[in-house]
Amino acid sequence: MGGLKYAYFCCSGPKLSKLDRFLACANFIKHHPSLAATALPRELFDHSPITLISSVVDFGPSPFKFFNSWLLVEGINEVVTTAWSEFKGYGTADMQLMARLRHVKYVVRNLRNMKFKEENKELIDLKEEKARMELVAESRPLSDDELKALCNGAQRILELEKLKSLDLRQKARIRWTIDGDENSKFFHGVINSKNKRNRIQGLSINGRWTTDVNRNKD
């Protein structure tokens, strides 16, 4: 909840309460993932008016996150080492360190984006080929080479799906006891909830809550 920390203040005694609950159906939350509650000034009342707004406020790029699955990318160690050593900075030591880390982040993110596109394309192609081979198997027996290719393709599909699930599990920060839980409604609900809590909806500047992006960036 943005704005005031507590929504209720009792003048007759030191009583503070945080009343920040809204009753909403699951479909409403699903279609409005960027909901944000804000407690407005109380003025003459004991209770603060609370607004529920669905809007996306762009405060700039999100903080850089490094996923464990990236360590499985071939050549990642060499890419990070090269990006770190080739950078030439200037200014004070802390400014150079910040700029160097930003450069490494840029290189790693570009590598991961490229690999992500390649893996997605490979996954789609493998699934299409697997479906085609299964249709062929319905009309005639598959040769040994075709069976081997089908098994290898199925194994590669599992590997690529595993990489995707590793990122989801790290985002949710939950240990699942059963493989496949990442596809459940509860699993994605946990991820969406954490993403919503990590999203910046506004900032408190000199005790005043503001959602003005330009002012906050200044």
Task: Residue 168: count other Cβ atoms within 10 Å of its Cβ.
Answer: 19
Percent helix, strand and coil across the chain, each to the nearest 5 = 55, 10, 35
Stretch 46-62: mean pLDDT, rounded? 72
Tell me the pLDDT of the chain averaged across its residues.
76
DSSP for 59-76, written as a single string: -SSPPP---GGGGGSTTH
**For 53, phi and psi rounded to 5 degrees?**
-120, 135
Cβ–Cβ under 8 Å, residues 37 and 22? yes
Both tokens of residue 87? 């950078």
Stretch 44-71: mean pLDDT, rounded? 73
- Look at residues 41, 72, 39, 38 and name the one whose alpha carbon lies nearest to residue 55: 38
d(CA 12, CA 31): 42
pLDDT at 113 over 50: yes
- Domain chopping of the chain, boundaries: 2-59+200-217, 68-184
Q: What angle do CA 210, 32, 172 make, to 5 degrees?
A: 90
For 164-216, what is each residue's pLDDT tens digit?
A: 777 776 666 655 444 445 555 655 565 666 666 666 666 666 766 666 666 65
pLDDT interval class at 160 (50, 70, 90): confident
Q: Which of 48-52, 109-113, 161-165 has the highest mean pLDDT?
A: 109-113
Pairing state of beta strands 8-10 and 2-3? unpaired
